[in-house]
Amino acid sequence: MLVKLLPPVIVKQPVDVRVGYKGSVTLSVGATAFGPINYQWSRVVDEADATKDVAIAGATGANYVVSNAMEAAVGKYRVRLSNAAGGVTSNAVGLSLVYAPVIGQQPGIKYSELMLKPIVTGKQIGRAHV
């Protein structure tokens, strides 16, 4: 029986992600193949030409974790999957930063506004004797 080796097939494309400033996020791809799959994540330089992508050292698994994300991490990423029969490249996906809101000045109440003033409500019932 002859088994034909086929290149990997992407069954779940990576998706765009947003991460908080200095946070962590995982890019992932789902794939199937007969035999082992080689992965290489890269930064996208030109979406139309994957050959110009810059490989990320050590990013050789189905998942790529971006830790301590700052402005330098913002951009497009994709992953190349390959085996002895060939390869396939994922769609390019974006990573963007989300910044926490900054409160420039705390809302406050001036001390003079805290002076308590009695508020009388209701009806008078009877007379108070002093």
Residue spans per domain, the chain: 9-101
Give the pLDDT score at 63: 98
Q: Residue 53 carries which side chain, given as an amino acid letter? A: D
- Say if residue 87's pLDDT is above 60: yes
Identify whether the C-beta of residue 79 lies closer than 8 Å to the C-beta of residue 89. yes
**Token pair of 94, please?**
């974006």
Q: What is the mean pLDDT of the chain?
A: 86
Cα separation of 58 and 26, whole Å? 14
Q: Identify the three-state secondary structure at position 50.
A: helix
Q: What is the pLDDT of residues 6-51, one digit of tens each?
A: 999 999 999 999 999 999 999 999 999 988 999 999 999 888 887 8
Smallest CA-to-CA distance from 9 within 89, 92, 106 is with 89
Assigned superfamily of 9-101: Immunoglobulins (2.60.40.10)
Is the C-alpha dihedral spanning 15, 20, 21, 27 positive or negative? negative
- pTM of the model as a whole: 0.74
